[in-house]
Structure 1
Amino acid sequence: MIAADVCVIGGGPAGAAAALTLARYTRHAVLLLEASGYAAFRVGETVSAGIVPLLSYLGAESVLAGAVSVPAYGTAGAWGGEQLIRRDFIWTGRGQGLHLDRNRFDAALAACLSRFGDAPRVGTLVRDLTWRDGRWVVDLDAPEGRTQLEARIVVDATGRPARIARRLNAERAVTDRLVGLVCHLDLPKEQGEQTTLVETVPEGWWYTATLPGGKAVAALMTDADLLRGLGIGAVGDFLTRMSATRHVAARLEGARPLGEPRAFPAESHVLHPPCGPGWIAAGDAACAFDPLASLGIGYALASGIQAARIADEWLRGEDGLARAYAADIARHAGVYSAQAREMYQAERRWPDAPFWRRRLG
């Protein structure tokens, strides 16, 4: 049986941050498990320069080199009107942002764990876990076959589904039904305009950004029930919808889709409770925000670091951070909710469209 002090389940940014924090700053034995192997489709993401200090804390500054990212110079949005409003990052005082290739970024971040100890175990799926005599026994499907792992603490970094926490009777308080229908595209020239673009439409809003390698991501953000009624069954339907926009269509003119569009959950939720005896949820498993908030990876890294600190305290017989964890998450959720309401209230062109009526109400 494999043994560790902490088992981190989920090798995205939150899980990698938790494992790296423990490996770099403590002497606890940590294992990081990732089911997918980083080959599955992942949505590209735009991040601010604010993630650089977090990566530096983790000893992972190098992950932004090479083909993982391209500069993001600002944002542009047609929100509340047809005019495109631009905001360059140079005026924020924080420096340029980054457009990420999420597959490469996530894999490179997790691979940093090899510098401090055990490499991440990819292609490893958690089948079940049981609490026995003050320890977790975790049943795994691993590349070498079925095996078991024993750990004193488990960190759930499985994303919005919060698969581990929900097995342990935690509940998600979900506040909307947002999903993103996402497609990757090849741009007709090597470098597209390197700003994030958002444009509202009656059924929701569109997002596009450049990616490394002359590619781009485009996404229609709407509610799950509304998406089913739009009849977007294939990439041709997706492109037809996209061509009806003004600014997104112009930005992506001539772009070639690289596959069929895929739907990803993007709903906001808070997990209750976010931790319990011997387990902690981190990142989107603990609290997830509307992508409009641009909090995804930055929050995931910070949350993973905090989960690692809680685990370290528990292993040292303390619990101060754990007792404050739920209140910390509630504060984050409250700030985001207020910002999101203000943003959605700014778009009033389609008050009778179901997507906007739900948010304006």
Structure 2
Amino acid sequence: MKTTVTYDVVIIGGGPAGLSAAISLLQKQELSVLVIEGQAIGDELIGENCPPNTILLLKQLRVAKAFYKGNHAPCPGYASVWGRADVGYNDFIVNPLGPSWRLDRKAFDSMLADEARRLSAQIHWSTQFLDAVKVEKGYALRLRDRIANAEYKVNARFVVDASGANSRFAKAIGISKIIEDRLFASIRIASIAEGKPSKQIQIEAVPEGWWYNAALPDNRIITMMLSEKENIAALQDSQHEGFEAQLANTNFIAERLKKLKLKEHQYYTRPVYSGILPVIEGKDWVAIGDAASSYDPIAAHGIHKGISDGIRVTSKILAFFNGEEELNSFSAFVNERYVNYKKNRDYVYAIEQRWYDAPFWNKRIMNPLEITYANNGYK
């Protein structure tokens, strides 16, 4: 066991939420900050799309110039087959903030990590959070170095749970997320050997769920199906032949992919839960990003939400260290945002009425008139 070191703040999770919290905090006050991340440098990262207003957040973190120098690709908009058989378009041409962005996620997270380290944060990659014990001043955290396969402990006066949808720290102190919907994503990432992909993100609803297809900045393409757990097993059958067969049956995305020659296919499966913690913060801890509230990917706000939370929560952490009373304003904000997210999610799913009796859609859609009544407080 290594000698126990005490940090002012330990951030569990080195994704956009956790790294943004470290940057924002250290820009305002000199503290000892440790970020721990279970993945290793260079691991594949899923999630590459962010809306135009993400730029405003990057300017607050003072990394916008570095972002523009990166290999990130602007996205002109969406092309979707949803609620009807023909293609509809949603363009960003009239947005004053410009296009949305398709990120080179490894480069994006490295950019944030470099800035956090420049501001004196320590980052332990390949480090697993195991559990936490409340002590007189904060928490004793038990961690495992995955490379050395060795456990060690650190003490934290304040903990930020940025561990993603599993909310690992909150769970360790006895708080379980309220899960309202469970999806699974079957994902294929492939390199483009020949052809030029569309710059638009493509979405297509099918009876079993919906497909997402987007070009990545590093000459790769990501294709993903969101579906029920039962269908995911079929997608994985026979070396993912089920995935390829269901993809070939799409009307819109399959035609777009026929124009490309792909190689080096890699497949992943990820659970995708919509849910929120019943308790989002305490006196000496707080959950942010997907750890606090996780969304259906149809919302396309995961990265933006994480960065926004990392910046917003800084005032709570500084109030703790400066001996000031901070009311649970962050919890109120997250709860209100989650209510609005659910209204928007329900509205989007209600647009698709073609397969009302299919198990996937039957669980997630209601009549549009019912949505209107619910949104106005009627039952």
Match of 1:34 in 2: 37
Note the alpha carbon deviations across 1:144-182, whole angstroms, 9 max, x for none. Answer: 654321220010111000011111111211111112111
Alignment counterpart, residue 152 of structure 1, candidates 149, 153, 157 = 157
Kindly provide the amino acid, as one letter, of the partner of residue 223 in structure 1.
E
| Equivalent AA in structure 2 for residue 296 of structure 1 | G
**Counterparts of 1:212 and 1:235 in 2: how far apart (Å)?**
25
2:233 is the alignment partner of 1:223: no
1:194 corresponds to: 199
Q: Report which stretch shifted further, 152-161 or 129-138.
A: 129-138
- Is this contact kept in 1: 2:160–2:288, CA < 8 A? yes
Note the C-alpha offset of 1:27: 1.8
1:125 aligns with 2:128: yes
Cα distance change on mapping 1:247 and 1:66 into 2, 3 Å = farther
Distance in structure 1 (CA, Å) of the matches to 2:220 and 2:172: 38
Q: Which residue of 1 aligns with 2:364?
A: 359
Corresponding residue number in structure 1 for 2:374: none
1:290 is the counterpart of 2:296: yes
Q: Is the 8 A contact 2:195 2:261 kept in 1?
A: no
In 2, Cα distance between the equivalents of 1:108 and 1:357? 42
- In structure 2, the gaps of 5 or more residues are 367-379
Aligned mate of 1:113, from 110, 113, 116: 116
The CA RMSD over aligned residues, in Å, is 1.9
Equivalent residue, structure 2, for 1:325: 330
Equivalent in 64, 69, 77 of residue 61 of structure 1: 64
* CA distance in 2: counterparts of 1:168 and 1:119, whole angstroms: 24
Q: 2:171 aligns with which of 166, 184, 209?
A: 166
Match of 2:219 in 1: 214
Contact 1:178/1:224 (CA < 8 Å) preserved in 2? yes
Deviation, structure 1 residue 354: 0.1
Query: What does residue range 3-42 of structure 1 map to in structure 2 within 5 Å?
Result: 3-42=6-45
Match of 2:373 in 1: none
Q: Contact between 1:46 and 1:209, CA under 8 Å: does it hold in 2?
A: no
Conservation of the 8 A alpha-carbon contact between 1:179 and 1:264 = yes
Residue number in structure 2 paired with 1:344: 349
Where structure 1 has 5 or more consecutive residues not aligned to the other structure, the ranges are: none
Superposition TM-score, scaled by structure 2 size = 0.89
Letter in 2 for 1:105: F
Paired residue type of 2:46: V
Q: Deviations over 1:104-125 (max 9, x none)?
A: 3223212211221134221222
Deviates more, 1:248-257 or 1:130-139: 248-257
| Range that drifts further, 252-261 or 297-306 | 252-261
Aligned amino acid, residue 29 of structure 1: S
Q: Which shifted more, 245-254 or 192-201?
A: 245-254
Change (3 A) 1:288 1:63: farther
d(CA) in 2 for partners of 1:106 and 1:238? 29
> Does the C-alpha gap of structure 1 residues 203 and 133 become closer, same or farther in structure 2, counting only changes over 3 Å?
same
Q: Note the C-alpha offset of 1:25.
A: 1.2
1:188–1:250 CA distance, 2 compared to 1 (3 A): farther
Tell me whether 163-172 or 131-140 shows the greater mean CA deviation.
131-140
How high is the sequence identity, in percent, across the aligned residues?
28
User: Residue type of the partner of 2:166?
Assistant: P
CA deviations on 1:23-73 (whole Å, 9 max, x unpaired) are: 111122211111212333222421122111111111222453455411211
Aligned equivalent of 1:262: 268
Distance in 2 (CA, whole Å) between partners of 1:329 and 1:233 is: 42
Q: Which moved more, 1:38-47 or 1:61-70?
A: 61-70
C-alpha separation between the residues in 1 aligned to 2:96 and 2:70? 26
TM-score of the pair, normalised by structure 1? 0.94
